[in-house]
Structure 1
């Protein structure tokens, strides 16, 4: 599962957080990738969610939109139902990182990675360079016989050239549905008007070809008393781990 959870933005972030927890619990995921998740006063949203959901949390600060509160820092989070063998941050650019959590699967490892690429419309080169760095990391991990899943907010639609390096090494777990698959949708009341990425699918779960997805879906539409818990919808993919 991957979800941009929109930090503490909006005037109902505490209520949104409760709805986020309920939504994740209902999906019963083995792994959750979080973007725009917060850290403040020695606490992290990932740790609070992990405690409530019985999952192991990790957090890493990365380049994100700036919270109005200077004491709140946004970044990446991972929740895991499995014990973590290793946790590492990998720099993709000056301020953007990928957060990697490793679990043991048989004689090899599974690496669950999340990141959030630059969101500005004129940052095509930056996104491409970040995607190339992420693809190089994936290739390095796979060279040891390990399996890799990348889940995150890549701020690029599927036909964007910035994602070509990642699509060259991993398969998109999305499966066509009746719904158009837009994770950043103008149907969402939190989305600003005229956003350059609106009504596009920009959140992904990518996996090794051998980890064929059995299906995927969007959640996070109306779990907050009829409102979405975030400005992005969440992506859930059923990927069998060997």
Structure 2
């Protein structure tokens, strides 16, 4: 599962956080990638979710929109139902960060990675460079015979050239169904008017050597009929053990 959870933005972030927890609980994922998740000196959203959901949490600060509270930092998070063998923060091109968690499955390892590429419309070259850097990390891990999942907010619609480096080494888990899987939708009341990425699928789960048995969106209306974030979540059924 991957979800950009929109930090503490909006005037109902505490209620949104409750709905985020309930949405994740309802999907029962083994792994969750979070973008724009928040952390302060007192507590972190990943820790709160991990405690409530019985999952191991990790957090890494990253280049994100700034929270109005200077004591709050936004970044990347991973939640896992499996014990983590290793956790590492990788700096990609132009300073963007990827967070990697290694999970031991029998005699093999699975590397679960999350990142959030630049969102600005005129940063196409930066996104391409970031994706290229991330693809190089994936290739290095694959060379050791391990499986890799990249889950995150790539801020690029399907078919965008920025995705080409990653799609050269991984497969997109999304299975086209009766809808196109838009994760940044103009039907979401939290979107601003005229967002350049609106009505596109910009959140992805990418894998190698794994069979996908289904994919779907979540986080559509769990907050009293409203979405808990400005992004919808993506969930993929990928057997990993």
Q: With structure 1 as the length reference, what TM-score do the two structures score?
A: 0.98
Deviation at 1:93, TM superposition (A): 2.8
1:190 equivalent to 2:190? Answer yes
Distance 1:212 1:201 in 2: 21
Partner of 2:9: 9
Deviation at 1:207, TM superposition (A): 0.2
1:113 equivalent to 2:113? Answer yes
Deviation at 1:217, TM superposition (A): 0.1
Distance 2:128 2:4 in 1: 20
SS of the residue aligned with 2:64? coil
1:211 equivalent to 2:178? Answer no
Partner of 2:46: 46
Deviation at 1:235, TM superposition (A): 0.1
Deviation at 1:178, TM superposition (A): 1.3
Q: 1:14-163 to 2 correspondence within 5 Å?
A: 14-163=14-163
Distance 1:19 1:179 in 2: 24
Distance 2:179 2:11 in 1: 29
Deviation at 1:61, TM superposition (A): 0.4
Deviation at 1:5, TM superposition (A): 0.1
State the 4+ residue runs in structure 1 displaced beyond 3 angstroms.
Answer: none
Distance 1:113 1:147 in 2: 11
Q: Which runs of 5+ in 1 are unaligned?
A: none
After superposition, give the CA deviation of every residue in 1:1-23 in whole Å (9 maximum; x if it has no partner): 00000000000000000000000
Distance 1:199 1:79 in 2: 28
Q: With structure 2 as the length reference, what TM-score do the two structures score?
A: 0.99
Deviation at 1:94, TM superposition (A): 4.1
Distance 1:106 1:135 in 2: 25
